[in-house]
Structure 1
Amino acid sequence: MAPAPDWPLPRVFAHRCGGALAPENSASGLRIAAALGMRAVEFDVMLSADGSPWLIHDETLERTTNGRGRVCATPDAVLRNLDAGSYRHRAFAGEPLPTLEAAAALCRELGLMANVEIKPASGFEAITGEVVARRVIELWSGVQLPLVSSFSELALETARHAAPQLPLGCLWVRPPADWRARLDALAAFSLHCAADKLDDSLLCAARAAGIPVLCYTVNDQSVAEALFRRGVASVFSDRIDVPGRSEK
């Protein structure tokens, strides 16, 4: 079955948990987002060598941790002991990589809605979609399910088969000409794209079909307001400290 068409979209999602104020995809980011009154967060999920879902954006560890190598080739025991905060600031030294389980528990504790982006390593699209979808259903049991999105249509396809009730978002830089057919094939709820690649004809067609359009990464409040006036439903932003971003 497809998800209900009234998933309660917030105006702003904190990009990669806490935007520019914390290490990306971190528990600190979730706490900062909640403390600033954000209603919703977005984060990336990738599988380890053990097939466990962890919050991290890159396929490799070097940019955001003190580890080395591919995430998909690194076991949980190694990921568990990495420092994922020092790259951002010494105040975050020792910040661990969160598992999807830990992030879900913290979102529930803090009352945060979530957009879980399936971020598969190359060659792991199908299994990542399946594992993340199944875990999301388990971890958010009894509460509002997160919106689950991905650039990988194969990941979304396996997520849809694994968890038919999930609200899915099709994520593109610039939506393709056949975006509607692809979205319908996945029974997806929303369309996500780069803010500067959005044209009004697409927005008009999406609005007529009742399909919410979400744009990333919008760090200027005037740009966000212009997008909302055009009919964009939500934006993803690193600037969650900007006055007016709080929705609580």
Structure 2
Amino acid sequence: MTTPSAWPYPRWIAHRGAGKLAPENTLAAFRLGAQHGYRMFECDAKLSSDGVAFLLHDATLERTTNGHGTAGDQPWGTLAQLDAGAWHSRTYAGEPLPTLEHLARWCIANGHFLNIEIKPTPGTEAETGRAVAALAARLWHGQSVPPLLTSFKPQALAGARETAPHLPRGLLLDQLHDGWLDTARQWGCVAVVCNHALWSAATVAEVHLAGMRALSYTVNDDWAAQRLLALHTDGIITDRVDLFSPAGA
């Protein structure tokens, strides 16, 4: 049996900053999540066409900005001009897309923790993993707790490991495919991050026996959170920063 190493991260993690209370992956969202007492945040990072790491979940711009087309095909100078807040509400009109560096510096300055999901534009998995890991290694150099890098894409995790093997990695899963735990081991992961419905006493035990941690997304109901706590999972990513208090967790 392998005993998991000490886990430095809080149990409760605010999804994309503040869930649905503010425009996702904007600095306004992270500030609001912090106002609700959250100390750890999840974000999505991808690359512009000229190699700038910035925050955006979708491959395309239409849902959460006033831009159009594939985000990764556009230079940062164009992306930086977009409105990433008006789609949510008039309160946030004019909120820009942030760079990953901007968010990182805010987190470090305020003592917050970060889970960076590497969300590559299709075809740039390894490149994005390398770039995000290099930036994280530089920005968190000398900090006591590094960010947790996660991805659904093994190639992105491979790129991250190649560039900054000391940074912790986690494998994201939306289903438990054959060999899922071996995949996590292969890429030297410290955590498996699953759709919360996939966890059972058996799967949590498998992950813990492998020396890893069990994290869940996206948990928005109290019954689901209570089930995960009873299973002794290690992290809960939620939109409901207004429902779940992270105090003492």
TM-score of the pair, normalised by structure 1: 0.95
Q: What SS is found at the alignment partner of 1:171?
A: strand
Deviation at 1:110, TM superposition (A): 2.3
Counting matched residue pairs gives 245
Q: What percent of counterpart residues are identical? A: 40
CA contact (8 A) 2:18 2:30 kept: yes
CA contact (8 A) 2:200 2:231 kept: no
- Asked if residue 205 in structure 1 is aligned to residue 206 in structure 2, the reply is yes
- Aligned equivalent of 1:108: 108
- Aligned equivalent of 1:68: 68
Hey, what's the Cα distance between the residues in 1 that align with 2:244 and 2:54? 31
Hey, what's the Cα distance between the residues in 1 that align with 2:88 and 2:248? 26
Hey, what's the Cα distance between the residues in 1 that align with 2:140 and 2:246? 25
Hey, what's the Cα distance between the residues in 2 that align with 1:129 and 1:240? 28
Q: What SS is found at the alignment partner of 1:21?
A: coil
Hey, what's the Cα distance between the residues in 2 that align with 1:230 and 1:103? 32
Hey, what's the Cα distance between the residues in 1 that align with 2:89 and 2:66? 13
The change in CA–CA distance for 1:125 and 1:243 in structure 2 (over 3 A counts) is closer
TM-score of the pair, normalised by structure 2: 0.94
CA contact (8 A) 1:118 1:148 kept: yes
- Aligned equivalent of 2:242: 241
Counterpart amino acid of residue 176 in structure 1? H
Counterpart amino acid of residue 153 in structure 1? P
Deviation at 1:243, TM superposition (A): 4.7
- Aligned equivalent of 1:224: 225
CA contact (8 A) 1:30 1:41 kept: yes
Q: Structure 1 stretch 92-101 or stretch 190-199: which is displaced more?
A: 190-199
Hey, what's the Cα distance between the residues in 2 that align with 1:60 and 1:244? 33
- Asked if residue 152 in structure 1 is aligned to residue 165 in structure 2, the reply is no
- Aligned equivalent of 1:182: 183
- Aligned equivalent of 2:128: 128
Indicate the RMSD between aligned Cα atoms, in angstroms: 1.4
Q: What SS is found at the alignment partner of 1:20?
A: coil
1:112-135 Cα shifts (integer Å, max 9, x gaps): 100000000110101000000000
Gaps of 5+ in 2: none
The change in CA–CA distance for 1:243 and 1:197 in structure 2 (over 3 A counts) is closer
CA contact (8 A) 2:47 2:54 kept: yes
Deviation at 1:182, TM superposition (A): 1.1
Q: What SS is found at the alignment partner of 1:19?
A: coil
1:143-182 Cα shifts (integer Å, max 9, x gaps): 1210000000000011001001010000110122312211
- Aligned equivalent of 1:32: 32
Hey, what's the Cα distance between the residues in 2 that align with 1:76 and 1:223? 39
Q: Structure 1 stretch 21-30 or stretch 194-203: which is displaced more?
A: 194-203
CA contact (8 A) 1:34 1:110 kept: no
Hey, what's the Cα distance between the residues in 1 that align with 2:160 and 2:244? 36
The change in CA–CA distance for 1:170 and 1:157 in structure 2 (over 3 A counts) is same
Deviation at 1:48, TM superposition (A): 0.5
Hey, what's the Cα distance between the residues in 2 that align with 1:55 and 1:153? 20
